[in-house]
Structure 1
Amino acid sequence: MRFPLSACLLLATACLLLATACVPLGTPITDPNAAGRAPGQQKPPEYYADKTLRYQDYTYAPEVRSVQCYVASGQPNEVFQPPVVPLGQSPAITLEFDVLGEQSQRYTARLVHCNADWQPSVLTDLQFLNEINEFLVTDYRVGVGGKTPYFHYRLRAPGVKLSGNFLLVVQSPGGVPVVSRRILVYENRVQVGLQPGIVVGGQERYTLQQLDFGISYASVDLVNPAVEVKVVLRQNFRWDNARYNLRPTFVRDAERRLDYQYFGFENAFPGLSEYRFFDTRSVQAAGIGVLRVDPRPNPVTATLQPEVSRAKQAYNQYQDANGQRVFESREYGNGDVNADYADVTFQLKADQPAPGPVYVLGALTDWQLKDEFRLAYDETTQLYTGHALLKQGYYNYDFAVAGGPGQAPNEVYFEGTHQETENQYDLLVYYRPPGTRADLLIGYQAVNMNGRQ
């Protein structure tokens, strides 16, 4: 019996939806950053060429710059706060970005509910929202006083009815994505105990930072928690080097508690060093970390001080922003619309080429290896150099060597690693109740390792 083409398409779509909905409970979380990549492929040949929506922090157009997603708490340095909020409370997650050019654009935003592996869930919009899932971005202002024309956009994420993972997507007419950011909404249904641990090893005790944690679920009835509870451990709120698939080492049924204490460094991270930094808040004088600045060209140019490898250096303590950045203009204030853009040149001295391509890495690159931030090596001068268009501000960054297939970038090669480094860590606890169709974020805690007061 032959079916019409339209019926075949409907049947195939139904099969696909059923396959998506029937994800077994306890399915391991794989690294969601590797989804859609061929083995060994770090990114598409051209970063901005593919406009397919990715369920991660991503920028889809080269004219979109200076993206920040944070909790608008009204406190100083609020832009350093990750987009993580408790369910039903008032602090709003804010997304800001610039679009280069002399003509404003019309954008809309929407939320996508995702499971623990950052793949879209099968929930309908009304199951996690109280309003239509399309929001017109109306808050935008023109950049003034600088040589590079741009418009600054801002929007606040709507409140949701469920905890879990959400992708905030801004798109142009026609549904083409412009920028996407991961946001988290949690509820404290379980008690999370996250604390610095002691690395059991030899030299590793001086280079790694370990996080021990336990989960108490006395106040909630979890079915088979040892298998169905999923956790993600992050360093400095990064997704690119997060720890997935951590299983409990002890299950205490009588105490209704899961303990996670490892001896193979599964819950340990390289401490690295405090982040490098530079200050381009002024275009009239060179700030810290800047060799020279020239306000005459268009765009303004800034050349950074030549950096050196810190792999064999002793630990150097100073205050940093854990890889983040803030935009500001010393001359005019209000970095949202008064800060100009500068062509910033990075320099790194190296006696010999690294064992792989070298990149600038940090929040300024979305913690990704972008072509714009790849450095070129000159054997004559023994210098890595590269440049990128960046908004005036104070920046943290480091240098990373691209890893092999399935490997995170190697930051230790140029930065070294120390147990004494100050870093922030947080733990995400997911659970899918029986009979439901989505993963909930039922526990969250953040701690500071070697915090400075």
Structure 2
Amino acid sequence: MINKAYSLLFLLILPFILTGQVEEVSPPDFIKTIKFKSNTTQGQLPILQLGEPLVLEFDALNANEEDFYYVIEHFNYDWTPSVLAKAEYLRGLDNQRILEYYNSFNTYQVYSHYKLQIPNIQTRAILKTGNYMISIYDDYDELMFSRKFMVYEDLVNVGVNVKRSRDVKYVAQKQSVDMTISTNSINFNNPLETINTVIIQNNNLNSSISGLRPQYTLGNRLIYKYVDESAFWGGNEYLFFENKDARAANVGVQFIDLKDIYHSYLFTNIARYDRPYTYNPDINGNFQITAIDRSDVDVEADYTMVHFSLLYEELMDKDIHVYGNFNAFAIEPLTKLYYNRESGKYEGMLRLKQGFYNYKFVALDKRTNELDEGFISGNFWQTENNYKVLVYYRDLGARYDKLIGYGEASSVNISN
């Protein structure tokens, strides 16, 4: 435990040395299906109201019943380390073992399902609003993965409206987000300096827009109506499949095969960037664990090897990846598709728990590592997207960024 204490101390000090933004760490291959549960928001991005419990769940597929420990850290609005001491934002202790776990039952893939809920006996409360990172370590002090979450207090009203792009060049491809922040309980001091906002499209922190300043102030109302700065690419509706019955083809699944575990072969997809937009209801990149004839999907849903394929010519300068919230929109070696010259398709596979999944194909530039989400699926102003707006406030002389408001809107009500 002494080595663990030194390791944690170094990890806490290191960000201050680097003075950079913290990034989430993707898990190793044997940890799957990381998900949060929240009463406030839908999807895998946890935005919690102060006092609301935090529930984190994940599966370990190595069947070792390992011990895992959690550490919680507080950050500024821009994900740089805050100066708060742990006792200021946490009542109780972290760096504690996750006590609740259950082994899978009647599945081909053996796994252990872990569940952490805060508050608990050791970690009794989160005291401050703002940005947080929860990191999971194994018994050998190795960081397994980390995930961001946010805690807010409802102190301001956040109005969110989605508009077509005001830039004529991108009017058919982009969506712009207008915001209005109003309150009767706070007198904003110098809002150009003390107010910060973050706009998140479809729960994807990787593409969020932050640092926008209010353009107009009307009394205690702050108004944001930008032309380019608050515009997102519209994208396209996500593709989807459901394999709640691992033994039979289902929505999006062409056929199945049983080897060591079940294999689900999806229908081959095609590029959509040059095709007319077609509305197709989705869950904006998220996923839901489902399994028929199972009373507890946490431990009774099985894992299947899901095979993806994309009919597209071989690209010399770009890699193609499967993209979605099943892994927090991470680009990693497991999500990469490889070109099969015999079939003329990009092909790949992922081990996923039974459920309903949204996904799409994206292109990553080999030279610049620049991600193009619309390269394969296109960008359309009509696409239904979800937008969340977070409002941070650091009063003059304050030591951290309070998260004082949260607003949400869908582009299903988009207007000119």
Alpha carbons 1:423, 1:448 under 8 Å: kept: yes
Cα displacement (A) at 1:139: 1.2
User: Is 1:97 the equivalent of 2:58?
Assistant: yes
- Structure 1 residues 354 and 415: alpha-carbon distance in aligned structure 2, compared to 1, 3 A threshold: farther
2 CA distance for matches of 1:291 and 1:216? 51
TM-superposed deviation, 1:221: 2.9
Asked whether 1:289 is paired with 2:252, we answer yes
Comparing 338-347 with 372-381, greater Cα deviation is found at 372-381
Instruction: Using the TM superposition, give the Cα deviation of residue 20 of structure 1 relative to its aligned residue in structure 2, in angstroms.
Output: 5.0
The C-alpha deviation readout for 1:144-174, integer Å capped at 9, x for no partner, is: 1111111000111333111101112222224
Task: Please point out which of 190, 196, 200 is paired with 1:234.
Answer: 200
Give the residue type in structure 1 aligned to 2:88. Answer: Q
Give the distance between the partners of 1:238 and 1:251, measured in 2 at CA: 29
When the two chains are superposed, the root-mean-square deviation of aligned CA atoms in Å is: 2.5
The alpha carbon displacement at 1:100 in A equals 0.7
User: Are residues 282 and 333 of structure 1, via their aligned partners in 2, closer, same or farther at CA, if it must alter by over 3 Å?
Assistant: farther
* SS of alignment partner, residue 200 of structure 2: strand
- Alignment partners' CA distance in 2, 1:236 and 1:123: 30
2:388 corresponds to which residue?
A: 426
Deviation string 1:53-93 (CA, Å, 9 cap, x unpaired) is xx4443332211111113057xxxx86363112223xx422
Question: How many angstroms apart in 2 are the aligned matches of 1:198 and 1:82?
Answer: 25
Report the residue type matching 1:293 in the other structure: I
Give the secondary structure class of the aligned counterpart of 1:419: coil
2:116 paired residue number:
155
Give the fraction of aligned pairs with identical amino acids, expressed as a percent. Answer: 28
The amino acid of 1:240's aligned partner reads N
2:26 and 2:146 in contact (8 A); partners too: yes
Counterpart of 2:303, as a letter, is Y
Query: Which residue in the other structure is 2:106 paired with?
Result: 145
Offset of residue 214 of structure 1: 2.1
- Amino acid of the structure 2 residue aligned with 1:119: T
Give the AA of the match of 2:225: Q
1:249 is displaced (CA, Å) by 2.2
In structure 2, relative to structure 1, the CA distance for the partners of 1:365 and 1:405 (3 Å cut) is farther
- Change beyond 3 A, Cα 1:354–1:347: farther
Structure 1 residue matching 2:83: 3-state secondary structure: coil
Structure (1 or 2) with the greater strand fraction: 2
Deviations 1:231-277 (A, max 9, x none): 1111012111111222222244xx133221112x2111122111100
Distance in structure 2 (CA, Å) of the matches to 1:428 and 1:280: 35
Deviations 1:165-184 (A, max 9, x none): 11122222243222221111
Which amino acid is 1:280 matched to? N
Alignment of 1:277 with 2:240, yes or no, is yes
- Is 1:400–2:381 an aligned residue pair? no
Matches of 2:213 and 2:66 in 1, distance apart? Answer: 47
Question: For residues 325 and 392 of structure 1, what CA distance do their matches in structure 2 show?
Answer: 10
Q: How far is the alpha carbon of 1:113 from its aligned partner? A: 0.9
Distance 2:151 2:160 in 1: 19
- On the 8 A contact 1:208/1:417 being kept in 2, the answer is yes
2:309 — aligned with what?
Answer: 347
TM-score by length of 1: 0.81
Rounded Cα–Cα distance in structure 2 between residues aligned with 1:224 and 1:406: 39
Q: Which residue of 1 aligns with 2:226?
A: 262
C-alpha distance after superposition, 1:297-327 (max 9, x if no partner): 1122111110000111112112211111112
Q: Which residue of 1 aligns with 2:146?
A: 180
Say whether 1:246 aligns with 2:212.
Answer: yes
Question: Please, which of 172, 183, 188 is the counterpart of residue 206 of structure 1?
Answer: 172
Q: Give the number of aligned pairs.
A: 397
Q: 1:178 is paired with a residue of what secondary structure?
A: strand
The TM-score normalised by the length of structure 2 is 0.88
Deviation of the 1:106 alpha carbon: 1.1
